[in-house]
Amino acid sequence: MSNVLTIARRELQVYFSSPIAYIVLAMFGVIFGFFFYSAVAFFQTFSAQAAMNPGMAPPLNVNQFIIEPTLGNFTIILLFLAPMITMRLFAEEQRQGTIELLLTSPVSDYEIILGKWLGAMLLYACMLTVSLINFAVLFYFTTPDWRALAVGYLGVLLVGGALLAIGEFISTLTKNQIVAGALTFGVFLLLWVLDWVNQYSTTMVGKVCSYLAFPPHLQQFTKGVLELKDVVYYVSVIVLGLFLSKRSLESIRWKA
Amino acid sequence: MIKVEGVSKRYGSTRAVRNISFEVRRGEIVGFLGPNGAGKTTTMRILTGFLPPTEGRAIVAGYDVSEDPLEVKKRIGYLPENPPVYPEMDVEGYLRFVARLKGVPSSEIPSRLENALDRVSIGHVRSKLIGKLSKGYRQRVGLAQALIHSPDVLVLDEPTVGLDPKQIIEVRELIKSLAGEHTIILSTHILSEVASTCNRIIIINEGEIEASDTPANLTARMQGGESTEIEVDGPAADVERTLAALEGVERVTRNEDANGHASFTVDATTGAAIRAELARAVVNAGWGLHGMRSAGMSLEDIFLKLTTEDHEDLRQAENLAHGHQFHTLPAAQPSDDAAEEEKGEAQE
């Protein structure tokens, strides 16, 4: 476990001693802020209209109108930023030859993989912290249901974990960061749009595709509903990503 | 300390290392010598647990590399060909990271860090980013990284590559100073390096061990006594006869260059000082003495001999070392051997 922390700590150190962390956090802060502002502005117009026309309005709810859409859109940003976080994880080590240091140190492959994933997750947690500033404002002026928000954040954390695990795996496949980044983005995008199949296909294939896609599983979380099947989905994607990374790391040894 | 038994490594259909076996005792410095692509790095990577061997066993400090890789890795310090440093980290941070990774207890890290910085004298750049350091310093950081957990075994892959002559000397001194407490395996293709630092040389070529001995023995084995090359202007056959008749001369070989100039390689029996005699004989006979130089077989020659010729020639070279005369042998040997020998000589 201490090895995992050693590696995670170094990863975090690298993110923060290079521009990566600052760019990612700043971009995220701006874009998320805009999403949040849009949701608030829309909510404001909508409630103004509802005040004039009481018949059309459903019960107005901050959770439903602000928290749910903002967290739902959250993953769009993640789609772009997660590859930037993960593409260097192993590609850089392979290019620099530092992978030899890791693989000849008394650390197991899983410790290396978990350490790197944890490092990426911690940076991601920093992103989440940045986003919390927006909701702090919300809590200052109104009283949304904090439990629903917490569940929403849990969902967002899980989506991030899953994407970072897949990204980590892809990063073990190549020495080239750009290749890793592009490939990761492609895979994320595909997983993102995969549930479109559900709209024109009612067969088994359609159901499977829609189950494999990321967004449908997040919907329940952002509503504040904690469902076991969604948790299982994300956790299994994380485990799968880490497992594939482990196999791929083994093959680095064979190929080297 | 290190025991390698019949280790082979195959990459697809190519065999990088074939059935290598050797042993290294505690405190020894052993040098792997071989041309590029001979299998030195592969062998080292197997020892460090980076690569699994296809066949055979490697035992380091009592642990099998394939069965107890973590135990082996705790006891090995490894400097790969390119120092495995992170350019975006500072020297001290990097070494702390490696120390933790190698399992050094955190209470000991400060003292180990100072010790390692001191050993390779990089204390004055401790807070610099590694990416800003010169190649020589990066190499030293790499060495410090290999030393920091004071491992029993040090595996250094071409430790002096890219250093300037002064740094090379420093690194060699450092390596020598580490012997005794550490067992060291280093690889190089620079012969003077093994000659000056190692107790034992293992010559690897095309994945196989060609020779394994002390530098002195290798030199002695390949070459009986001292040999002198002499250039004489005179009737070649007469010169050859005259020189061969001198006392202490074991063998005279005539080499003719493309322009028809003859030079002779004179091998003396061990310990005989024959240069003055040679000069006198030539002058007395009224020939012109154009030049004379020592043609002692250096490690370079041995290395080239071992790595460029085939095994038949190697055996002949060994015969030679045991005092047989090339020129009287062919009659007693199969004719294709003689042809081989001609070829070998032409190469020389």
SS3 B28: coil
Secondary structure of residue B263 in the 3-state scheme: strand
Q: Per CB distance under 8 Å, which residues of B are interface residues toward A?
A: 45, 48-52, 70-71, 73-74, 76, 78, 80-89, 93, 97-98, 100-103, 145
Distant-in-sequence, close-in-space partners of A202: CB < 8 Å, separation ≥ 6: none
Q: Does A254 touch chain B (CB under 8 A)?
A: yes
Interchain contact, A13 vs B93, CB within 8 Å: yes
Min Cα distance A24 → chain B (Å) is 18
Min Cα separation B81/chain A (Å)? 9
Chain A residue closest in CA terms to B10: A254
Question: DSSP assignment of B102-113, as one string?
Answer: TT--TTTHHHHH
- For residue B200, pLDDT over 80 is answered with yes
Q: Which of A94-108, B247-261, B278-292 has the lowest mean pLDDT?
A: B247-261
Chain A partners of B81 at a C-beta cutoff of 8 Å? 97
Question: Which residue, among A161, A131, A149, has the nearest Cα to A26 in the 3D structure?
Answer: A131
How near does any CA of chain A get to the CA of B82, in Å?
Answer: 7
Question: Chain A partners of B52 at a C-beta cutoff of 8 Å?
Answer: 253-254
What is the count of residue pairs from A and B with beta carbons less than 8 Å apart?
Answer: 76
Q: Do B86 and A256 touch (CB under 8 A)?
A: no
CA B106 to chain centre: 38
Q: Which of B39-48, B208-217, B247-256, B331-340 has the lowest mean pLDDT?
A: B331-340
Higher pLDDT, residue B289 or A175 = A175
Tell whether A253 is within 8 A of chain B (Cβ). yes
> Model confidence at B341, in pLDDT bands (50, 70, 90)?
very low
Average pLDDT over residues A23-47: 90
For residue A31, what pLDDT is reported?
Answer: 92
Query: Could you tell me the two tokens for B106?
Result: 């955190």
When scoring A93, A101, A254 by the number of chain B Cβ atoms within 10 A, the one with the most, hence best to mutate, is A101
B88 contact residues in A (CB cutoff 8 A): 14, 17-18
Is residue B192 a contact partner of residue B298, using CB atoms and an 8 Å limit?
Answer: no
pLDDT band at B242 (very low <50, low <70, confident <90, very high): confident
| pLDDT score at B342 | 43
Instruction: Could you list the beta-strand ranges (E) of chain B.
Output: 2-11, 14-24, 29-33, 55-60, 63-64, 76-79, 153-157, 183-188, 200-205, 208-213, 227-233, 249-256, 262-268, 288-294
Asked if the model's pLDDT at residue B272 lies above 70, the reply is no
Position B85 scores a pLDDT of: 94
Q: Which amino acid is at B56?
A: G
The answer on pLDDT for B324 being more than 60 is no
Per-residue pLDDT reduced to its tens digit, A137-190: 888 888 888 888 999 999 999 999 999 999 999 999 999 999 999 999 999 999
Model pLDDT, residue A108: 92
Question: CA–CA separation, B6 vs B58, rounded Å?
Answer: 9
Q: What is the DSSP letter of B130?
A: G
Query: Across chain A, what does the average pLDDT equal?
Result: 89
Q: Between A17, A96, A101, which is nearest B98 by CB?
A: A101
CB contact under 8 A, B50 and A10: no
pLDDT of residue B329: 37
Query: B70 and A106 in contact by Cβ < 8 A?
Result: yes
- Number of residues assigned to chain A: 256
pTM of full prediction above 0.90: no
* Nearest residue in B to A112, CA atom: B101
Of the partner residues A7, A98, A253, the one whose CB lies closest to the CB of residue B51: A253
| Tens digit of each residue's pLDDT (9 = 90 or more) over A38-68 | 999 988 888 888 878 777 666 777 888 888 8
C-alpha span between A61 and A144 (Å, rounded):
8
